[in-house]
């Protein structure tokens, strides 16, 4: 038996063949390299040791899905530990920020460089996670979603007001404290005809020099504005933050400044909604967010207030 199965030896290399042959090509039975074998054996030993110390063998339900291993290692537990460690390390800074904000408002934050940088960094991080979806990275805004960097605030813009807005949202119906106002859908609800909307749109756009005044605008448009719009947006169209009525006489247009966009806004009556965040975010995060938004934005009171006074004077001079 053994004689018959004697291995064939390759004449050229002097190495036994495996006996496998493909189209006359035979495979030499060279031994595995020793370094390779040693790594292989070491891997087997490593696997055995690993199974003893680390979670490895699937177990029936009720045993937590797997054997825990002697080290009782758990990535999930590690993540929880790391997160709580991070929170502990950041805790004092957040407490300091909260106290400074409650006691002295943004001025107290601005006066402490470390606190300022912390507020901006923490705010930026929370903003990116929660707010950037609508307001854009850095709060640059989109059509219908306000730019938070400018000085045109639809709702009151003090630090505490911004905090309240973040807490309770805008037109968020589940929260009774939410900021609320509503512009009628003049076109959709049949309050104004298309021609009337067109005329009042002309009037509004002429307010901020977007177009030259038109006869329809200054005639029918002015009259409709006085009857329908001035109650909220003011006689001069300068708006009223306390009821969330935007300034129509400035360079900033939340729903777009093209004639079609302005007419569309009057037709449908914009109803922008922002969720209340007080259930989702804790108070310190809201404070950091408010600081971030407040400090990056411009304050009404410099350029905006000057403009308001200027325009009021102009209008008074014109005898209206």
Partner 1 sequence: MELIRNKPEPKEAAAGVIEHDAVAVNDPARRELYHKREQIYPKLVQGKFRFAKWVFMILALGAYYLTPFIRWDRGEGAPDQAVLVDFANARFYFFFIELWPQEVYYITGLLILASLFLFLITALFGRVWCGYACPQTVWTDLFIAVERLFEGDRNKRMKLDKQPWSVDKAWRKVGKHSVWILIAGATGGAWILYFHDAFAVVNNFVTGEAALTSYVFFALLTFTTYTLAGTMREQVCTYMCPWPRIQGALTDADALNVTYRTDRGEPRGRHKKGESWEGRGDCIDCKACVAACPMGIDIREGAQLECIGCALCIDACDDIMGKIGRPKGLIAYDTDLNIERRVAGETPRFDLIRPRTILYTALIAAISGLMLFGLANRTELSLDSYRDRAPNYVILSDGSVRNGYTLTVVNKANESRVLSLALQGDPAFTMRVLGADAEALAVGPDETRDYRIFLNLPREAVDAASEPIAFVVTDPVTGEVAETPSVFQTGEMR
With binding defined as CB under 8 A, does residue 149 bind partner 1?
A: yes
With binding defined as CB under 8 A, does residue 207 bind partner 1?
A: no
By CB under 8 A, name the one of 67, 98, 147, 278 that touches partner 1.
Answer: 147
Report, in Å, the least distance between residue 140 CB and partner 1: 3
Neighbours of 141 (CB within 10 A): 17
Q: Which is nearer to partner 1, 248 or 281 (CB)?
A: 248
49 and 56 Cβ atoms separated by less than 8 Å: no
Binding region for partner 1 (CB under 8 A) out of 143-151, 171-179, 189-197, 226-234: 143-151
With binding defined as CB under 8 A, does residue 138 bind partner 1?
A: yes
In the DSSP assignment, the letter for residue 41 is H
Report, in Å, the least distance between residue 138 CB and partner 1: 3
Question: What are the C-alpha distances in Å from 270 to residues 25, 34, 57, 259?
Answer: 80, 77, 59, 16
Distance (Å, rounded) from C-alpha 181 to C-alpha 244?
6
Query: Residues 282 to 301: which contact partner 1 by CB under 8 A?
Result: 295-296, 298, 300
With binding defined as CB under 8 A, does residue 171 bind partner 1?
A: no
Distance (Å, rounded) from C-alpha 309 to C-alpha 161?
24
How many chain residues bind partner 1 (CB under 8 A)?
A: 31
In the DSSP assignment, the letter for residue 6 is P
In the DSSP assignment, the letter for residue 137 is G
With binding defined as CB under 8 A, does residue 30 bind partner 1?
A: no
Query: Residues 237 to 256: which contact partner 1 by CB under 8 A?
Result: 247, 250-252
Distance (Å, rounded) from C-alpha 87 to C-alpha 77?
15
DSSP-derived 3-state class of residue 19: strand
From the list 262, 263, 270, the residue with the least C-alpha distance to 193 is 263
With binding defined as CB under 8 A, does residue 151 bind partner 1?
A: yes
Q: Which is nearer to partner 1, 62 or 113 (CB)?
A: 113
Neighbours of 236 (CB within 10 A): 18
From the list 135, 130, 160, 157, the residue with the least C-alpha distance to 146 is 135
By CB under 8 A, name the one of 150, 175, 196, 202 that touches partner 1.
Answer: 150
With binding defined as CB under 8 A, does residue 90 bind partner 1?
A: no
Query: Residues 99 to 118: which contact partner 1 by CB under 8 A?
Result: 109-113, 116-117
Q: Which is nearer to partner 1, 240 or 298 (CB)?
A: 298
With binding defined as CB under 8 A, does residue 186 bind partner 1?
A: no
Binding region for partner 1 (CB under 8 A) out of 11-19, 52-60, 134-142, 192-200: 134-142
In the DSSP assignment, the letter for residue 272 is -
Q: Which is nearer to partner 1, 145 or 172 (CB)?
A: 145
With binding defined as CB under 8 A, does residue 261 bind partner 1?
A: no
Residue partners of 177: CB distance under 8 A and separation at least 6: 164, 167, 168, 276
Distance (Å, rounded) from C-alpha 284 to C-alpha 279?
13
| Interface ranges with partner 1 (CB under 8 A) | 109-113, 116-117, 120, 136-141, 147, 149-152, 247, 250-252, 295-296, 298, 300, 303-304, 306-307
């Amino acid at each position: 038996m053994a004689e018959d199965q004697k291995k064939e030896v390759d004449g050229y290399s002097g190495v036994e063949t495996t006996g496998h042959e493909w189209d006359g090509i035979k495979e030499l039975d060279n031994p595995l390299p020793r370094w390779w074998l040693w790594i292989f054996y070491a891997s087997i030993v490593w696997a055995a040791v690993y199974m003893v110390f680390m979670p490895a063998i699937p177990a029936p339900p009720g045993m937590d899905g797997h054997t825990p291993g002697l080290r009782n290692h758990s990535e999930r537990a590690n993540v929880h530990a790391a997160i709580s460690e991070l929170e502990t390390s950041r805790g004092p800074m957040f407490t300091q920020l909260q106290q400074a904000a409650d006691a002295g408002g943004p001025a107290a934050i601005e006066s402490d460089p470390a606190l300022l940088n912390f507020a901006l960094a923490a705010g930026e991080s929370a903003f990116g996670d929660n707010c950037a979806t609508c307001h854009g990275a850095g709060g640059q805004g989109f059509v219908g979603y306000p730019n938070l960097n400018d000085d045109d605030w639809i709702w009151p813009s003090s630090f505490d007001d911004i905090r309240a807005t973040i807490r309770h949202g805008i037109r968020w119906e589940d929260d009774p404290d939410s900021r609320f106002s509503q512009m009628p859908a003049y076109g959709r609800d049949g309050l104004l005809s298309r021609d009337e909307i067109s005329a009042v749109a002309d009037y509004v756009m002429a307010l901020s020099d977007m177009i030259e005044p038109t006869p329809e605008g200054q005639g029918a448009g002015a009259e409709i504005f006085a009857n329908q719009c001035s109650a909220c947006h003011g006689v001069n169209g300068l708006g009223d933050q306390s009821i969330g009525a935007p300034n129509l006489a400035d360079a900033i247009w939340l729903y777009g400044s093209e004639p079609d966009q302005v007419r569309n806004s009057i037709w449908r009556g914009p109803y922008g909604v922002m969720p209340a965040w007080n259930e989702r975010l804790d108070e310190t995060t809201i404070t950091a967010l408010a600081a971030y938004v407040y400090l990056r934005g411009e304050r009404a009171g410099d350029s905006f207030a000057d403009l308001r006074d200027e325009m009021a004077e102009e209008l008074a001079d014109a005898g209206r």
